[in-house]
A and B are shown apart, each in its own frame.
Chain A
Amino acid sequence: MDEVLEVMSDTQFHHVQTAHCESGVISNIFRHYGLQISEPMAFGIGAGIFFGHLPFVKVNGVPGTTYRVVPGAIFKRVAKRLGVKIASQSFSSPEKGMQALDRVLEQGRPVGLLSSVYYLPYFPPAYRFHFNAHNLVAYGKDGDNYLISDPIMEQVTEIDPKSLAEARFAKGFPAPKGKMYYPVEMPKTISLEQPIRDGIKQACSDMLNIPLPMFGVKGIRFLAKRLKHYPEKVGDRKAVLYLGNIIRMQEEIGTGGAGFRFMYAAFLQEAAGILKRDELSALSAELTSIGDTWRNFAFNAGRVCKSRTANNISYAELSEMLMQCAAEEEVLFRKLSKVKL
Chain B
Amino acid sequence: MKKDDVPQDGNNMHDGQFRQLFYATDNTGQYVQVNSVGWEPENVAMQQAWEEINARVEKARAQVVAGEISPVAYYMEKNIMDLPLLASYVGKFQWQVKRHMKTSVFNRLSDKMLRRYAAAFKITVQELKNIK
Contacts and interface: CB of A to CB of B under 8 A. Distances in A.
Contact of A302 (B12, B44, B52): B44
A118 interface: yes
A87 B15 CA distance: 36
Given A172-B85, A288-B25, A245 B45 contact: yes
Contact of B42 (A122, A124, A302): A302
Given A171-B89, A262-B22, A125 B15 contact: yes
Interface in B42-94: 42, 44-46, 48-50, 52-53, 80-82, 84-85, 88-89
A299 B9 CA distance: 13
B27 interface: no
A60 B80 contact: yes
A258 to B, nearest CB: 7
Nearest to A20: B21
Interface residues of A, number: 55
Contact of A154 (B12, B18, B41, B46): B18
Nearest to A268: B31
Contacts of B29: 285
B24 interface: yes
Contacts of B6: 257
A124 B49 contact: no
A166 B20 CA distance: 25
A55 interface: no
A29 interface: no
A241 interface: yes
A60 B52 CA distance: 10
A244 B49 contact: yes
B24 A247 contact: no
Given A241-B49, A265-B31, A124 B1 contact: no
A253 B53 CA distance: 20
Given A124-B18, A172-B88, 16 more contacts: A19-B21, A19-B23, A61-B82, A122-B17, A124-B13, A124-B14, A125-B15, A171-B89, A175-B88, A241-B49, A244-B49, A252-B46, A257-B22, A258-B1, A266-B31, A298-B42
22 contacts: A19-B20, A19-B21, A19-B33, A40-B31, A60-B53, A118-B80, A124-B13, A124-B17, A129-B80, A130-B81, A154-B35, A171-B89, A172-B84, A243-B45, A244-B46, A247-B44, A247-B45, A248-B49, A251-B39, A251-B42, A266-B23, A269-B31
Interface of A: 17-19, 40, 60-61, 118, 122-127, 129-130, 152-154, 171-173, 175, 240-241, 243-245, 247-248, 251-254, 256-258, 262-263, 265-266, 269-270, 284-285, 288, 291-292, 295, 298-299, 301-303, 305-306
